[in-house]
């Protein structure tokens, strides 16, 4: 475990696997998530063949909760500087992102195509028109309505923790939403469109739950990605990382080891 000063914020990260091997960076989801969701599911298997970097997004987990800096472009800049710090300047990496972390990874691949070897999207938000406003409205929920939404969206993640840890996660999430610029930053996020996705050059694996509320729109948008393999995970919702961990782990490990560009 280590911390790095990235663009004025202390960012917590962990490195597992074979140091010096082909680098892979995992990016977790927004608000109630942290690097542990990858650490306990997929990172170990990928680390058998790769140099794996896990990190807590700004304001999440053990990373510093700054007042500002939560716009998508800012998170991509955080990621780029962290990669430079850990692996060396301008190093190309494979990126694996879950939920909002998938959007961060996608935006990185679009901004830095030469630095993106492969891209894996696990039931990822694709940042289409209306995404930012919809995310902001969800984050603005309060009281019982907010608690119901948290319970619905994060039931599989929260269910793996003790009551004490769940309370701590919920408290951190509340502080992130109420004490930072996260909501206005989401609201001003520029949407991605078909032309943006057509610019992606990295071989891409996309995994979506059969019953995910993101599936329909994502399938349409992903047709624009030049080199994409789409897998629909039967019986799963948005929480496929927890609902079908073994399948997701196998697909990611295989793709990063053998799939895409040779």
Among 62-71, 167-176, 236-245, the minimum mean pLDDT is found in: 167-176
Number of domains in the chain: 1
Q: Does any domain span residue 181?
A: no
Bridge partners of residue 120, in order along the sequence: 96, 205
**pLDDT value of position 140:** 86
Flag whether 144 is in a domain: no
Report pLDDT digits (tens) over 205-231.
999 999 999 999 999 999 999 999 999
Residue whose pair of structure tokens reads 């990190």 in the numeric block = 55
pLDDT band at 261 (very low <50, low <70, confident <90, very high): very low
What beta strand segments (E) does 28-139 contain? 51-55, 93-98, 116-122
* Residue 203 lies inside a defined structural domain of this protein: yes
Q: How confident is the model at residue 34 (pLDDT cuts 50, 70, 90)?
A: very high
Which pLDDT band, with edges at 50, 70 and 90, does 262 fall under?
Answer: very low
pLDDT at 145: 72
> Checking DSSP bridges between strand 2-6 and strand 9-17, what pairing results, if any?
antiparallel
| 3-class secondary-structure state, position 9 | strand
Integer Cα distance of 166 and 161 in angstroms: 6
What are the φ and ψ backbone dihedral angles of 93, each rounded to 5 degrees? -135, 160
Residue 214 lies in a domain: yes
Q: Judge whether 123 lies within some domain.
A: yes
Q: Is residue 198 part of a domain?
A: yes
In sequence order, which residues have a C-beta less than 8 Å from that of residue 251 and are 6 or more positions away? 205, 207, 231
The total of other beta-carbon atoms located within 10 Å of residue 220's CB is 12
In this structure, is residue 18 part of a structural domain? yes
Residue 102: other Cβ atoms inside 10 A? 28
Q: What is the CATH number of the domain that holds 110?
A: 3.40.50.1820
For the segment 130-163, what is each residue's pLDDT rounded down to a tens digit? Answer: 999 988 988 888 766 766 665 555 555 555 556 6
For the stretch 50-104, pLDDT in tens is 999 999 999 999 999 999 999 999 999 999 999 999 999 989 999 999 999 999 9
The pLDDT score that the predictor gives to residue 230 is: 97
Residue 46 maps to a domain: yes
pTM: 0.93
Structural domain of residue 116, as residue ranges?
Answer: 2-127+191-257
The reported pLDDT for the residue numbered 172 is 87
Q: How confident is the model at residue 32 (pLDDT cuts 50, 70, 90)?
A: confident
């Amino acid at each position: 475990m280590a911390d790095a000063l990235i663009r004025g914020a202390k960012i917590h990260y962990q490195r597992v696997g074979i140091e010096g091997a082909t680098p892979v960076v995992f990016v977790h989801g927004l608000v109630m998530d942290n690097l542990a969701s990858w650490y306990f599911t997929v990172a170990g298997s990928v680390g058998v063949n790769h140099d794996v970097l896990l990190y807590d997004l700004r304001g999440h987990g053990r990373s510093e909760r700054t007042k500002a800096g939560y716009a998508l472009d800012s998170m991509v800049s955080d990621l780029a500087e962290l990669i430079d710090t850990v692996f060396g300047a301008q190093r190309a990496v494979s990126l694996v992102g879950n939920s909002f972390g998938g959007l961060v990874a996608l935006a990185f691949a679009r901004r830095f195509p030469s630095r993106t070897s492969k891209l894996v999207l696990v039931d990822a938000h694709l940042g289409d028109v209306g995404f930012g406003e919809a995310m902001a409205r969800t984050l603005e929920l309060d009281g019982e309505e907010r608690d119901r939404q948290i319970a619905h969206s994060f039931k599989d993640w929260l269910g793996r923790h003790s009551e004490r840890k769940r309370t701590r996660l919920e408290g951190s999430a509340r502080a992130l939403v109420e004490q930072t610029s996260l909501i206005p930053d989401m609201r001003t996020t520029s949407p991605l469109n078909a032309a943006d996705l057509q610019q992606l050059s990295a071989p891409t694996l996309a995994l979506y739950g059969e019953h995910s509320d993101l599936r329909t729109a994502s399938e349409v948008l992903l047709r624009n990605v030049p080199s994409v393999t789409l897998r629909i995970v039967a019986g799963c919702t948005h929480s496929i990382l927890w609902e079908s961990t073994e399948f997701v782990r196998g697909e990611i490990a295989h793709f990063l080891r053998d799939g895409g560009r040779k």
